[in-house]
Amino acid sequence: MSQPGTGAGSTRAFWTRVASALVLAPIALAAVWAGGAVYAALIFAAALLMMYEAADMARLDRSDMGLSVGGVGAGVLFAILAGPGQALVIGLAVTLALAVRTRGRPQMLSALAPIYTVASAVALLYLRQHPDGLMLIVWLLVTVWAADTGGYAAGKTIGGPKLAPRISPGKTWAGLAGTMVFAGLASAGFGLAAGRGSIVAMMAVGVVAAFVAQAGDLAESAYKRFYGRKDSGSLIPGHGGILDRVDGLVAAAILVHVSMAATGETVFEWP
């Protein structure tokens, strides 16, 4: 998620982002709707691209790149075919192996990427496999997209003090407020329209999800800044790489998955 700059360049970038979203959103939503193998293939491809971008930003050599991307691929395949436990064990093993191989070098930070990528994929896969999986994923997308829109709108119209100028100079406290307000309202509105969940609980979980999504965005910004990169890649015009597009979504997905695993209930059942 991002907040805007100003001027003609910002306007062109905005419309480029819109055009990309109009192309990519229907593809993502179709895969979410289809579920099963189609959705699993989307998550598998996204995880490989995420890990590749993280490794490329860190300038890993060929063998370390192969270890990280191949290990993440194996972990996600286990998540699809076997279960989350085996997947996370593989992700952790790859993280430890990469940490050993890169110890004492700047590339060591990239060792965190395999376990985080596998955890992201596990969360998105298992949320969709829940009996309420379609509704859960659509709610998550609506909430995070609303957060993104709210952050952009508030950052552009209000501006003001910077949220984390050393990490992401474009982000403001007003943008963070807009992120959380829009997400809370969207989450509550979704629950009301679907006839599921307490309005207060849905608004609260939307606000928390937006906050975590913003934290995920800032973490990715810090990673890029550490390696001297503006974008994680150039795959998506106007958005950069796939990590630039899903940084907030995957952080929120992990939060929701862990919360549901801990409580045994979906967000629609929380009081």
Measured in whole angstroms, the distance separating CA 87 from the mean position of its chain's CA atoms is: 19
Averaged confidence pLDDT in the chain? 90
Average pLDDT over residues 242-268: 93
Whether the CB-CB separation of 49 and 242 falls below 8 Å is answered with: yes
Residue 20 has a pLDDT of 65
Measured in whole angstroms, the distance separating CA 220 from the mean position of its chain's CA atoms is: 10
DSSP element (H, E) containing 243: helix 242-263
| Confidence bin at 13 (pLDDT 50/70/90) | low
What's the first-to-final CA gap in the chain, in angstroms? 29
Beta strand segments in 72-206, E:
162-164, 168-172
Average pLDDT over residues 202-224: 95
Q: What is the pTM of this model?
A: 0.90
DSSP-derived letter for residue 196 is -
Alpha-carbon Rg for the chain, nearest whole angstrom, is: 18
Average pLDDT over residues 180-203: 94
